[in-house]
């Protein structure tokens, strides 16, 4: 999973106009000059991007599960799958 630092580096690279060999130093300078309000906006964007990615992955898993399991115990299994996936997502967020 992408870290917040990687996310910030991507944001920095979107507007960076220098050479590749200076990008890390320029990122450090950019980060040190970043206003707190802007940093909070980036943090919010980062959290939302993770949540969106997790939601999309979970939906895809559910769709795939549905395609392969069409029997009467589907609902029981799908709820177990959703609960387990949500537990994993939550535990991954707390590890970072």
pLDDT-derived band at 95, boundaries 50, 70, 90: low
**Best CA proximity match to 55, nearest among 76, 86, 80:** 86
Q: What's this model's pTM, rounded to 2 decimal places?
A: 0.56
Q: Give the position of tokens 């320029």.
A: 26
pLDDT tens, 21-76? 898 899 999 988 888 888 888 888 888 887 777 777 767 776 776 666 655 555 56
Domain regions of the chain by residue span = 52-96
Confidence (pLDDT) at 66: 63
Q: How far is CA 89 from the centre of its chain?
A: 10
69 vs 64: CA distance, rounded Å: 9
- 96 Cβ neighbours under 8 A, 6+ residues apart: 1, 3, 4
Sequence-distant (6+) residues with CB within 8 A of 30 are 12
CA distances from 34 to 38, 78, 91 (A): 7, 44, 30
């Amino acid at each position: 999973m992408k870290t917040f630092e990687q996310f910030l580096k991507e944001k920095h690279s979107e507007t960076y106009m220098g050479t590749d060999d200076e990008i890390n130093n320029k990122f450090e300078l950019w980060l040190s000059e970043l206003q707190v309000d802007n940093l909070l906006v980036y943090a919010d964007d980062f959290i939302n991007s993770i949540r969106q990615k997790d939601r999309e992955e979970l939906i895809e898993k559910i769709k795939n599960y549905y395609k392969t399991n069409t029997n009467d115990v589907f609902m029981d299994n799908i709820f177990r799958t959703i609960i387990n996936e949500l537990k994993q997502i939550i535990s991954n967020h707390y590890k970072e």
